[in-house]
C-alpha cells in the first residue's frame, strides 16, 4: 500500500489539472498561433508560466486504484500487476483465466 500522503497529493494534482484544463488549452492555442503578434504569444506564454505547476497534466502519475502503487500499472484495468494477479486468481476479473502448464 502506498503512503496516504502520496495518494492524497496525486488527488490534489488531478483536481488542479481538471480546474485549469480549459484555461491552459486556450493559452496554448494563443501561444502557438502564428497569425498572432509576437507580443500576444509572449503574453500567453507568460500567463501559462504563472499557472500552478501541478495544473499541468504531465505532472500526473498513474496509480493503482486499489492500492495506490505507482509502478507496474496496467492502463486498461487501472490496477497494478500485483492486484491484477490477485484479482485474476480470485476470479474477480472477467475473461482472465489462471494459467498452468
The average pLDDT across 49-70 equals 93
3-state secondary structure of 45: helix
Question: Is residue 53 predicted with pLDDT exceeding 90?
Answer: yes
Q: Which residues contact 24 (CB under 8 A, 6 or more apart)?
A: 48, 51, 55, 56
- Distance (Å, whole) CA 15 – CA 18: 5
Band the pLDDT of 63: cuts 50, 70, 90: very high
**What's the CATH class of domain 1-61?**
mainly alpha
The average pLDDT across 18-40 equals 94
The answer to whether 65 and 79 are in contact (CB under 8 A) is yes
Question: Is residue 1 predicted with pLDDT exceeding 90?
Answer: no
User: What does pTM read for this prediction?
Assistant: 0.76
pLDDT of residue 43: 95
- In order of 60, 68, 69, the CA distances from 77 in angstroms are 17, 14, 14
Question: Is residue 50 predicted with pLDDT exceeding 80?
Answer: yes
The three cell numbers of residue 1 are 500500500
Better pLDDT: 51 or 2: 51
| Residues making up the chain, counted from first to last | 101
pLDDT of residue 95: 86
User: Using the 8-state DSSP alphabet, how is residue 53 labeled?
Assistant: G
Domain boundaries, the chain: 1-61, 62-92
The average pLDDT across 50-61 equals 94
Amino acid at each position: 500500500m502506498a503512503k496516504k500522503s502520496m495518494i492524497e497529493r496525486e488527488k490534489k494534482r488531478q483536481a488542479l489539472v481538471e480546474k485549469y484544463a480549459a484555461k491552459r488549452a486556450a493559452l496554448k492555442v494563443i501561444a502557438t498561433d502564428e497569425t498572432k503578434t509576437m507580443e500576444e504569444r509572449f503574453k500567453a506564454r507568460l500567463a501559462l508560466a504563472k499557472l500552478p505547476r501541478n495544473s499541468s497534466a504531465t505532472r500526473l502519475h498513474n496509480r493503482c486504484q486499489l492500492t495506490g502503487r505507482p509502478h507496474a500499472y496496467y492502463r486498461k484495468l487501472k490496477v497494478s500487476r500485483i492486484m491484477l494477479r490477485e484479482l485474476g486468481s480470485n476470479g474477480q476479473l472477467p475473461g482472465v483465466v489462471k494459467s498452468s502448464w
